Structure formats: C-alpha cells, structure tokens
Amino acid sequence: TLFHTEFLNWGNYINQKSLSMYSIDSHYVQVLAFNMKKPLLEEARVRKGIAISLNTAKILKNVWLNKGTLAEAPIYPNGWYSPTNQANYTYDAERAGEYLQNAIDSQLTILVNTSVPDQEAIGEEIADALQRIGFVVALDRKEETAYSQALQEGNFDLALCRFRVLDEMDIAEILGSKGSQNYTGYASRDMDAALEAIGTQTEEETIHQAFVNLAQQVVEDLPYFTLFFQRQATLTGLNVRGDLEP
C-alpha cells in the first residue's frame, strides 16, 4: 500500500498504526498571478514591489504550518535539476515602498478559488500585507467554475493559482507565450527560448543550467510570483520497504 494525501488531511491518518507516514514536497505550487494587461501591473517595478512586500515565510507558517518549500519559480524544488532558491524577493517592506511610490492608494482585487480550501486564507494574508503598505485591496471570492472563467477572461488584478507541475511541459503551459495556463498576458521571446532550451539538453549539467536560466528569467520578468510548493503526506503499509524518492 502506498498513497498520498494533502497536508490538510494528515490528521485523518496520524493515529493509524498500520501505516507509516512521510512528508515530501508535492508537485503543487501556489503562485500569485499578475494581470499584465492592467496598466498598473504591466510595470515590472510594481510587480517586484508587491513581491517583496509579501512575507512568504510568514504566509507558509500561518496557513500551512510550514508544510511547504519556498521557491522563486514554479520549478519542483527537490529534483536533481532544480535551481537553488536565491531569495531574490526576500520580504523588505521599506524597499517595497521605494518600488511602489507612485502606486500606493491604488485599488487591487485578488481573485481566489474558494473550492481550494487554503486559497482564501492565503488571499487574506496577501490582502493584509498590501493594505499595510497603502493599497486598497478586496478579495474576489469565486467557486471553481466562475473562478476559471474570470482567469480565462482576465477579469482580475491579482489571482491566486495552484498549479500541478510535473515536468517542463507543465511549466511551458504556465509561462510560455501560448501556454494554456498563462493567464497573465505575459509573452516573452526570451522565456520561450529558455523553455525550449530545457528540452534540447541531454546532459545532467546542461539540463540543470537550463532550469537555472529559466528561473532567472522568471525572477527578472515576474509574470507570476511563486509563493511555495505544498508538502504532502505519503503513507505506506508497514510491509513497504526501501528508499522513498519524490
């Protein structure tokens, strides 16, 4: 027996003595999407100011009890190919204010999917942080169908999204100019080239470097701000032996 469950369901199994439980990074990542078709958010300095005004470590602790891994790009953090988190957008409210000098007092909506249990709580943490630096913020709470429609139609300023990222094809759907999950209006030849380069490499070293380059492009352009990868519980019967790999 081997199966996975999300962190929020761990308590259902914790007292079952017939099971062993392991905590590993899942392939689900929480990100904040910027609608770059909105005049305010098409400016990179504003997106960067918002990013460094958010204390992602605090959000992870408050909402997920630290059951996650911080990351700066939607790239699985525990693979042999994974880039090291360089913490380019470490929380710094004073520096955020410098980036956002002409944006303060602007109104922002944050689209959240109420069908995802944790997303509203994350949205509230983000709204609180942005209000503290001067934005006027409202949560736009929608259930799955209405939420998806709003994403597709671009009816949001900021949106919380949870993506499942298994490989570079999933990343391309999020960041590629023609990606089916690219809801931000972002299009970049440099990003498309970085995504394409991953698939053309054959050696571990060059594959790793291609992912490093991709992460750097995400950090530079910031169409999405990566919050964290969720952790999950992997449960096995006591008869299961061997090393557990992500």
Contact between 175 and 191 under an 8 Å Cβ cutoff? The reply is yes
Query: For 98-120, how does the pLDDT look when each residue is reduced to its tens digit (9 = 90+)?
Result: 999 888 889 999 999 999 989 99
Instruction: Provide mean pLDDT across the span 215-233.
Output: 92
Residue 5 reports pLDDT greater than 60: no
Six-digit token string for 38:
């909105």
Query: For 40-50, how does the pLDDT look when each residue is reduced to its tens digit (9 = 90+)?
Result: 999 999 999 99
At 63, the pLDDT band (50, 70, 90 cuts) reads very high
Question: Rounded distance, CA 203 to CA 197, Å?
Answer: 12
Least confident of 12-26, 54-68, 201-215: 12-26
**What integer pLDDT is reported at residue 240 of this predicted model?**
45
Question: Rounded distance, CA 246 to CA 242, Å?
Answer: 13
Higher pLDDT, 106 or 231: 106
Backbone CA torsion sign across 117, 23, 211, 203: negative
* CA nearest neighbour of 134 among 177, 100, 185, 178: 100
Instruction: Provide mean pLDDT across the span 154-179.
Output: 95
Q: What is the pTM of this model?
A: 0.87
**What integer pLDDT is reported at residue 236 of this predicted model?**
47
Residue 13 reports pLDDT greater than 50: no
CA dihedral 71, 217, 173, 48 (to 10 degrees): 60
Residue 220 reports pLDDT greater than 60: yes
Contact between 14 and 74 under an 8 Å Cβ cutoff? The reply is no
Instruction: Calculate the alpha carbon distances from 70 to 23, 170, 226 in Å.
Output: 15, 19, 8
Question: Rounded distance, CA 173 to CA 178, Å?
Answer: 7
Q: What percent of the chain has pLDDT over 70?
A: 85
Six-digit token string for 92:
């710094």
Write the DSSP assignment of the chain as a string of letters: -EEEEEGGGGGGTTT-TTEEEEEEEEEEEEEEEE-TTSTTTTSHHHHHHHHHTS-HHHHHHHHHTT-EEE-SSSS-TTSTTPPP---TT---HHHHHHHTTTTTT-EEEEEEETTSTTHHHHHHHHHHHHHHTT-EEEEEEE-HHHHHHHHHHT--SEEEEEEE--SHHHHHHHHSTT-TT--S----HHHHHHHHHHHH--SHHHHHHHHHHHHHHHHHH-SEEEEEEEEEEEEEETT--S----
Query: For 175-201, how does the pLDDT look when each residue is reduced to its tens digit (9 = 90+)?
Result: 999 999 999 999 999 999 999 999 899
